[in-house]
Amino acid sequence: MSDNDILVEVRDLKVHFPIRRGVFFDRTVGHVKAVDGVDLSIPRGKTYGLVGESGCGKSTLGRALLQLTPPTAGEVKFDGVELTTLPAGKLRTMRRRMQMIFQDPMSSLDPRQNVESILTEGLQTHGIGANRDDRRRIIGETLDAVGLPKWALSRYPHEFSGGQRQRIGIARAVVLGPELIVADEPVSALDVSIQAQVVNLLDELQESLGLTYLVIAHDLAVVRHISDIVGVMYLGALVEEAPSDRLYTEPLHPYTRALMSAVPVPDPDVEDRRERILLAGDLPSPANPPSGCRFHTRCPWAQPTRCADERPELRQIGASRVACHWAEQIAAGELRPHEVTAKITRPEGEGEEPGVVSAPSEPGSYV
Ligand SMILES: Nc1ncnc2c1ncn2[C@@H]1O[C@H](COP(=O)(O)OP(=O)(O)O)[C@@H](O)[C@H]1O
Ligand code: SF4
Ligand SMILES: [Mg+2]
């Protein structure tokens, strides 16, 4: 694949949030390593699905990619332009080309603005449309594209159902004519019956507008059908990445196998034979991640050598990239899973004075 086919390229991206203590929270006593060394590429016009348990760093990665959260280290290239060192003015111009859709449209849409004003705001911010009529035309086309009626323009977010509100959130992104959309849990807050409609809409818009997506979800089933590539995150890093079909039919990393084993299969015969792996314990704290392979405290295949003291690199195995020392042996059935007892992990220094982590910034204010 040539460089021109890659719209987004992320290299060794890190986002570490300082944990502060002291009367004025003036001492930094550690860091939450929310994203800790991620490499990924998103081809133009394709969908990259990012999955993993809640708290593993998906949203932080999405926000850092768009420079909404400043990365601690690493590179993010968008259409060949390095974003992490881009001056603020140039970054603002770039922003039109990279938009975000949020999980809960109610909290990301201003309740005091009607739909017309929500959509006009972005156009004005980015100087799109020659005049008022031109902006009306663009807005009209966008409403059609997302399946909202014209009368929606004079209504307010609370007057719509959850699914329609998400259409407004999508319209707000699409109206600016972006190339990339980061959709952070776009259907997680919706009824299952509505989820498919919104996923289909995203699919149609990708087709008609040539969009590139990063779709974030904690639910593997949601990303399966729309993703060309799926990346699985665990504690701030990718543990496996593969073409979508490959990941679902032949998961190689123990964590992916565990996630996959929790997804029911419609075919009853396959369902009966399905491997079920229950993970022991909770996600360890990203402020004090386990040594070596970060999954070793919960991994049913963990071995006495290497797993606890050597961090596995993401390496190419066939069409997949996998971060496990023993992936080949596990795939060949040479290593068998064993029981794992849950360990209590604590953030470093816990039990002394309480620490605070700097407050998350509001996602809603982004146009
Ligand atoms: N602004 C922030 N300040 C401090 N810690 C944060 C901030 N945002 C997220 N975190 C922490 O980073 C980790 C990853 O969070 P997040 O990216 O939201 O995960 P996910 O989206 O996968 O649920 C969590 O431990 C979370 O508490
Ligand atoms: S490196 Fe070891 S602990 Fe990590 S996933 Fe592979 S087998 Fe499990
Ligand atoms: Mg999230």
* Residue 273 to residue 263: CA distance in whole angstroms: 13
Contact assessment for residue 21 and residue 355, using Cβ atoms and an 8 Å cutoff = yes
> What is residue 158's DSSP assignment?
G
> What is residue 127's DSSP assignment?
T
Q: Which amino acids bring their CB within 6 angstroms of ligand 1? A: 17, 32, 34, 52, 54-60, 286, 357-358, 360-361
Atom from ligand 2 closest to the CA of residue 294: 4
The amino acid at 361: S
Q: Are strands 356-357 and 6-21 parallel, antiparallel or unpaired?
A: antiparallel
Structure tokens at 147: 């399946």
- Range 309-315, long-range pairs (CB < 8 A, 24+ positions): 314/39, 314/237, 314/238, 314/239, 314/241
Q: What is the pTM of this model?
A: 0.91
Q: Ligand 3 centre and the CA of 38: distance in Å?
A: 16
Return the H-helix or E-strand segment holding 206: helix 192-209
Q: Ligand 1 centre and the CA of 334: distance in Å?
A: 37
The amino acid at 301: W
Structure tokens at 290: 């386990």
Q: Which ligand is nearest to the CA of 284?
A: 1
Q: Which amino acids bring their CB within 6 angstroms of ligand 2? A: 254, 293, 295-296, 299, 301-303, 307, 312, 324-326
Q: Which ligand is nearest to the CA of 279?
A: 2
Strands (E) across the chain are located at 6-21, 27-43, 47-51, 73-78, 81-82, 98-101, 180-184, 212-217, 229-234, 237-243, 315-317, 320-322, 356-357
Q: Ligand 1 centre and the CA of 34: distance in Å?
A: 6
Atom from ligand 1 closest to the CA of residue 216: 21
Structure tokens at 245: 């079909």
* Residue 51 to residue 232: CA distance in whole angstroms: 5
Domain boundaries, the chain: 3-238, 251-331
pLDDT at 366: 34
Specify the residue with its C-alpha closest to ligand 2, atom 3. Answer: 296
CA distances from 322 to 76, 313, 314 (A): 22, 8, 5
Q: 26: how many CB neighbours lie within 10 A of its CB? A: 8
Contact assessment for residue 214 and residue 185, using Cβ atoms and an 8 Å cutoff = no
For 97-135, write each residue's pLDDT tens digit. 999 999 887 788 899 999 999 999 999 999 999 899 999
Specify the residue with its C-alpha closest to ligand 2, atom 6. Answer: 324
What is the residue-wise DSSP string for 55-100? Answer: TSSHHHHHHHHTTSS--SEEEEEETTEESTT--HHHHHHHHTTEEE
Specify the residue with its C-alpha closest to ligand 2, atom 7. Answer: 302
Structure tokens at 74: 């690493």
Q: Ligand 3 centre and the CA of 54: distance in Å?
A: 6
Q: Ligand 1 centre and the CA of 360: distance in Å?
A: 8
Q: Which ligand is nearest to the CA of 58?
A: 1
> What is residue 103's DSSP assignment?
S
Burial of 259 (0-12, 13-18, 19+ CB in 10 A): buried
For 223-246, write each residue's pLDDT tens digit. 888 999 999 999 999 999 999 999
Specify the residue with its C-alpha closest to ligand 2, atom 5. Answer: 324
Where does 3-238 sit in CATH, by number? Answer: 3.40.50.300
In tens digits, the chain (367 residues) has pLDDT values of 666 799 999 999 999 999 988 888 888 889 999 999 999 999 999 999 999 999 999 999 999 999 999 999 999 999 999 999 999 999 999 999 999 999 887 788 899 999 999 999 999 999 999 899 999 999 999 999 999 999 999 999 999 999 999 999 999 999 999 999 999 999 998 998 899 999 999 999 999 999 999 999 988 888 888 999 999 999 999 999 999 999 998 999 999 999 888 777 677 776 776 777 778 778 899 999 999 999 999 999 999 999 999 999 999 999 999 999 999 999 999 998 888 876 655 554 444 444 444 433 333 333 3
